[in-house]
């Protein structure tokens, strides 16, 4: 007789909590966009791909863990990385305040924010999201999902950052504040 497949309850809770935070972020983003009257969305072409990837992030690892009965290696390490990434993402969102939005709309006039994690890099939110894509699947042992989803996320973010920076660097105040600051890691890239 085959053993019934089971999903670890703690992992299901972790994924559910991560998904709930994404929904809260989307609500905040929508409010911010509405308040900004944002019409210009530099990432509009990438947004649907990003939404699909975030849905996949919160479903595919669960399927992989359940179907293949994956066991996590160092789950608390990966849960800790996920917690740190979440803290960085919310620090980034709080630092940008009403200018933050998920679609990448650039407000006019652009408030140049150099506080919080933006003191160190231009795109701390994208660093956090990339760590999410790696850590959330690995916390449950879903290494195939981690590799595949992280690679796809990096591909989509590469195009998004390129388009976003083209628009941001056109603003003289932003260019003066950030052109010498690294994109993702201080002293790297």
Note the pLDDT tens digit of each residue in 28-83: 999 988 887 755 555 567 888 999 999 999 999 999 999 998 888 999 999 999 99
What pLDDT band is residue 131 in, cutting at 50, 70 and 90? very high
Give the side-chain half-sphere CA count within 13 A for 44.
7
Fold of 9-178: 1.20.120
pLDDT of residue 83: 97
Task: Look at residue 185 and give its three-state secondary structure.
Answer: strand
* DSSP codes, 82-147: HHHHHHHHHHHHHHHGGG--TT----SSPPP--SGGGGT-S-HHHHHHHHHHHHHHHHHT-HHHHH
What pLDDT band is residue 18 in, cutting at 50, 70 and 90? very high
Report how far residue 138's alpha carbon sits from residue 146's, in angstroms, rounded to the nearest whole number.
6
Q: Which residue has the higher pLDDT, 4 or 9?
A: 9
pLDDT tens digits, 158-181:
988 888 888 888 888 888 988 888
pLDDT of residue 2: 57
pLDDT of residue 166: 87
Residue ranges per domain, the chain?
9-178
188 DSSP β-pair partners = 185
Asked if residue 107 has pLDDT above 80, the reply is no
pLDDT tens digits, 21-37:
999 999 999 998 888 77
Q: Quick one: which of 65, 81, 62 has its CA closest to 129?
A: 81
pTM beyond 0.75: the answer is: yes
Report how far residue 44's alpha carbon sits from residue 42's, in angstroms, rounded to the nearest whole number.
6
Angle between helices 60-68 and 9-36 (to 10 degrees): 170
Give the side-chain half-sphere CA count within 13 A for 155.
8
């Amino acid at each position: 007789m085959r053993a019934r497949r089971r999903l670890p309850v703690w992992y299901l809770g972790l994924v559910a909590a991560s998904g709930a935070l994404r929904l809260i972020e989307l609500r905040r983003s929508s409010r911010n966009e509405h308040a900004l009257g944002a019409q210009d969305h530099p990432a509009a072409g990438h947004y649907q791909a990003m939404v699909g990837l975030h849905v996949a992030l919160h479903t595919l690892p669960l399927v992989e863990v359940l179907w293949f009965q994956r066991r996590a290696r160092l789950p608390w390490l990966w849960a800790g990385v996920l917690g740190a990434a979440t803290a960085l993402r919310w620090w980034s969102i709080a630092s940008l305040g009403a200018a933050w939005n998920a679609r990448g709309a650039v407000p006019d006039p652009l408030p140049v924010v150099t506080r919080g994690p933006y003191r160190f890099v231009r795109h701390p939110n994208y660093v956090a999201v990339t760590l999410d894509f790696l850590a959330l699947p690995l916390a449950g042992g879903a290494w195939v999902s981690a590799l595949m989803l992280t690679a796809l996320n990096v591909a989509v973010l590469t195009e998004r950052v390129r388009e976003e920076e083209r628009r941001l660097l056109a603003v003289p105040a932003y260019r003066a504040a950030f052109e010498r600051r690294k994109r993702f890691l201080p002293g790297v890239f």
